[in-house]
Structure 1
């Protein structure tokens, strides 16, 4: 069973049969510790021979139950010995369909249109990952990847699929918005080199790519995020800050990060045409963005009333089901004047 590790898409292998090597456990009360005392030992290591992945999963489950999910163990086969965290091992063995989806790249990209509010013309599309082989919710897949240590591989492959879709379908002159996980980018110059090589391979104009920080991650290290954004921008790409007004995407950070675009959290878009508190916030966003020369995009627009009110306010771009749903194909925006 081939599985990727958590670092930049490197693959490791979980042998169908082999040896689980566990170092001396701090938890002497562990039921697994007592079991391991009865099997072969080498110095401070305890060796557990398993004959099937199901048997290995049972051992991993015991370690998790004993609170040892952060324990680093090793898997030994006839040809190699590879380290892995107990939590990552347990998740990959428990959800093999999700592991295979990430490892094999069993997903595609759907495109959701984004329009100019000034004239309703297509500005670009957001690339959204959709699994193909199993009925897996994309958010569930990303959550699993985080727990299983596969988030870097998934993020990297999703970026490549989006760039490929831009090259194949999205016309020149129109943008492609691509989500990325800051937590997967340890050293921007190194970790993003794969993305930049893909852009060159598919002959995509970097200026037509917009990389946006996904809304599911809270950012504690703003300086690190700033370095990531600057790396994208140095290569000629644009960056966007997602869900402004929610979570870490506060107005105060706009001047620190200076993205080219900001996407307003959909919670401030719903019924914005009749909610005075939301209107006040949206006006504040527009004022600050104009001062910093940042474009503003309203997402999650579902009604004509929301669309028209945002247009009158001066929001630059719009996205949402009122305009067009995600689709594997290009589609014309449905919003009308």
Structure 2
């Protein structure tokens, strides 16, 4: 007997290799399924395997499309009393069954990548990067599955807490931890920050040693909500950063509205910047605006000495990338540039 997770409420439900799929509000499809049991305002269809129920759901969806049904409004699938799924979500969760188990059950670890001052050549921080301790799956695949199944809140929370507790006894006070977060997972900033502060205190970490950075894979839809998140973090002494700047959704306008403590410049703008006049012009403009706003600039994805030297020459203050150090389970606190 395997367990799966409710995408919206994170409750567990039982998924059996054989059983019944209850389709609520589909009485009008009774003629298409003469073998179905009609009861409780819907149809019960039996299945005998994981593959069998997936095939049934796909068939139902194709029939609904041909009949011009609006699946999201008219049809839900139920796998346990009070836990309702759309057919599309149920299909997605069954497909990602193994990934759901990994997300729910794994005690993740953090790897650390150094962030270096281009003035002093010293490590001033490490970015904490989520890893599966058994190396079964990549971080990108983890977050892809979490997003598809509605578990991005759970995974994001586990990633943040793992990053905080992983620095204990490994990273000394005064060296910061850069930690990713998804704005969409923070519904109530005050409550979320209170929970994080409690976790920070429990693991004897200083709030001023934490920098939360907005993951750029999410489009910033509600700028005011993100402003509130940043404001609440800052009130607690936690720093904030805008990640992967310039890769898609982040613009100079967004930067000027949010005014984070750090702006992390996407590696696409850093790669071969010493040879690209267009990139150089944009980087210089960004550095000047950042300095005017009191924002610390950080170059991501530095892989060559020439890139690092150009970034230093135009006034970028911090850098991160394979040239300076790869993510490691046990971070080194010294670096040679």
TM (norm. structure 2) is 0.88
Match of 2:44 in 1: 47
Match of 1:271 in 2: 272
Matches within 5 A, 1:1-337: 1-7=2-8, 10-16=10-16, 18-25=19-26, 35-36=32-33, 38-50=35-47, 52-65=49-62, 70=72, 71-76=75-80, 80-133=81-134, 135-332=136-333, 334-336=335-337
Partners of 1:270 and 1:301 within 8 A in 2 = yes
Per mean C-alpha deviation after superposition, the further-off stretch among 208-217 and 66-75 is 66-75
* Cα 1:154/1:25, change in 2 over 3 Å: same
Aligned residues: 328
Partners of 1:21 and 1:74 within 8 A in 2 = yes
Partners of 1:245 and 1:265 within 8 A in 2 = yes
* Cα 1:63/1:319, change in 2 over 3 Å: farther
* Cα 1:134/1:56, change in 2 over 3 Å: farther
Give the Cα–Cα distance (whole angstroms) in 2 for the partners of residues 308 and 215 of structure 1.
26
Give the Cα–Cα distance (whole angstroms) in 2 for the partners of residues 193 and 105 of structure 1.
24
Structure 2: gaps of 5 or more residues? none
* Cα 1:186/1:63, change in 2 over 3 Å: farther
* Cα 1:275/1:195, change in 2 over 3 Å: same
How far did residue 21 of structure 1 move? 2.5
How far did residue 97 of structure 1 move? 2.6
Give the Cα–Cα distance (whole angstroms) in 2 for the partners of residues 333 and 308 of structure 1.
19
* Cα 1:250/1:48, change in 2 over 3 Å: same
Pairwise CA RMSD: 2.4
Structure 1: gaps of 5 or more residues? none
Q: Deviations over 1:136-193 (max 9, x none)?
A: 2211221111111111111111111111112242111010011111122222223444
SS of the equivalent of 1:167 reads: coil
Q: Deviations over 1:252-309 (max 9, x none)?
A: 1112111100001111101111211111111111111111101010010000111111
Give the Cα–Cα distance (whole angstroms) in 2 for the partners of residues 268 and 248 of structure 1.
14
Partners of 1:12 and 1:82 within 8 A in 2 = no
TM (norm. structure 1) is 0.88
Give the Cα–Cα distance (whole angstroms) in 2 for the partners of residues 6 and 184 of structure 1.
13
Give the Cα–Cα distance (whole angstroms) in 1 for the partners of residues 71 and 97 of structure 2.
18
Q: Deviations over 1:6-35 (max 9, x none)?
A: 457x33223325543222249x6x7xx655
